[in-house]
Amino acid sequence: MAKNDTGVADQTTLAERATRRTLSHRRWRVWRMIAIFVIATATMITLSMANRDAQSVRTCQTNLRYALDVFRSEHKGKPLPWTLPMPHAERDLLRSHYRYAPQNANLLDTYSPVGICWCDQPHHLFLRPSGRHLLLFDGEEYEIRWMSEAEFRTNAARFGLNIQSKR
């Protein structure tokens, strides 16, 4: 530490400078720690949101693909089932995510492809525009499409959809 009691002006100045430098370094270290903490936290939050977004969309697509596979394997050339096929025991819960309109297959004279099933509510995503899946049928083949909410609303009528929510 500085020896202010020596009475030597130079030594006092040097000691003061050293103290100021130490304080300045300490302050800088604190700010650096805060900055690292903020950046790390923001990164973790962003990654977790991205993961949540991806998982929500992926799960929905997987369930819809299951229905599509059942349509292809068990209903080829036959009417579609009255309830939406879903992959596991919590079928009712999974079904509640979708609007299923097998009767739309009767609209194939007017619309092609026609929308058979879609997410009843949009997936609200943090890092990209909200959107929905739509299962289309052209009389022969099925296709799952992801659409932004704006795209979905613009094109709903073109695919014969009545998009008034069931809730």
Residues 6+ apart with CB under 8 A from 122: 130, 131, 132, 149, 152
Query: Where does this chain touch Zn ion (CB under 5 A) — which range of 39-47, 108-116, 117-125, 135-143?
Result: 117-125
Shortest separation between residue 119's beta carbon and Zn ion, angstroms: 3
Shortest separation between residue 155's beta carbon and Zn ion, angstroms: 16
Shortest separation between residue 67's beta carbon and Zn ion, angstroms: 12
Give CA–CA dist 82/102, Å, rounded.
7
Give CA–CA dist 96/119, Å, rounded.
9
Nearer to Zn ion, 78 or 88 (CB): 88
Strands 142-148 and 98-100: unpaired
Shortest separation between residue 123's beta carbon and Zn ion, angstroms: 5
Nearer to Zn ion, 94 or 119 (CB): 119
When asked if residue 119 is in the footprint of Zn ion (CB under 5 A), the reply is: yes
Cα–Cα nearest to 117, from 128, 106, 104, 131: 104
When asked if residue 60 is in the footprint of Zn ion (CB under 5 A), the reply is: yes
Query: Where does this chain touch Zn ion (CB under 5 A) — which range of 69-77, 81-89, 118-126, 148-156?
Result: 118-126
Dihedral pair phi/psi, residue 4, rounded to 5°: -70, -15
**Binding site residues, Zn ion, CB under 5 A:** 60, 119, 133
